[in-house]
Amino acid sequence: MKRIKLYIHLSIILILLASPVLALAKSITYDYGIVLTAPDTYESCSASSDTITVSNLPAGWRLVGQVIVDIILPDHGRQLYKVYGVDFTGATFTLEVNYPPASEWPEIDELGTREVHVDIQLQATDGYGTYIPIGPGGDWDVFCRFPPPPPPGPGTGTPGYWKNHPEAWPVEQIVIGGVTYSKASAILYMSLPDGDKRVTMFRSLVAAKLNVLIGNSDACIAETIAAADAWMATYGGSKVAAKSEAWKIGEPLYKLLDYYNNGMLWCAFHRD
């Protein structure tokens, strides 16, 4: 039943993503009353283009420069997709900015986010030394989060599940932060009170590792598991407080582990 509901949910999302998306527009007024109209940042997996307009250009003025479309890469760098050169004279300039299909954008995070960025680098000039920058504040991004196919595997369990179901453990010992724990000692550690954030991380990391060991995909969490393991190796020797610098580093990792264990990331669903 859980998988059937998931299939239905994903089908609905796919239908919605296939529907046309109308981006909200913003208008920015520059010196001499020149107006740039461009999209606001928005989310769509079906957008193929947007339009920008520069209006109220004074008579005889030229609009020059470029509009750049970049694909955002997993390391948050940029890959150039297209440059639109602009050299226009008239009152109103309009440009259709095209995007590659969202299926060609790489995933940039563990949530499956994809992104393109549009940078406007224009100037309006009277030809006699006056230049008005047109573009600051006008850049925008288009985001896409494709729903993945239903993930394989038996489904994830929370720390509470693994703590209370020792018979479900696929192993008799587990390595956390470079330290090997027996099943019994790991469950005992997971049962400690919450004051020490090492315990918080330990619980979620144990659960995530067990969820992978029973056959759930780690495609969306493997790097986080490795980073959390390194965190435990670094900070596991003494108590970690909630307001400590160590927990500022550890908390984002814990949250991703928690999302995974609760079936909230794309690569694994939660068991019934």
Q: Are 198 and 254 in contact (CB under 8 A)?
A: no
Q: What is the mean pLDDT of the chain?
A: 89
222-235 and 197-213 helices cross at what angle (nearest 10)? 140
Alpha helices in 57-107 (DSSP H): none
Nearest to 139 by CA among 66, 201, 73: 66
Q: Are 265 and 272 in contact (CB under 8 A)?
A: no
Topology classification of domain 2-16+23-145: Immunoglobulin-like (2.60.40)
Domain map of the chain by residue range? 2-16+23-145, 159-261
Rounded to two decimals, what is the model's pTM?
0.52
Q: Tokens 């979620």 correspond to what residue?
A: 204
d(CA 136, CA 22): 23
Q: Which residues pair with 52 in a beta bridge?
A: 95
d(CA 204, CA 201): 5
One digit per residue, the tens of pLDDT, for the chain of length 272 reads 444 444 434 444 444 444 444 567 899 999 999 999 999 999 998 899 999 999 999 999 999 999 999 999 888 899 999 999 999 999 999 999 999 888 788 888 877 889 999 999 999 999 999 999 999 999 999 999 876 565 678 999 999 999 999 999 999 999 999 999 999 999 999 999 988 999 999 999 999 999 999 999 998 899 999 999 999 999 988 999 999 999 999 999 999 999 999 988 878 888 86
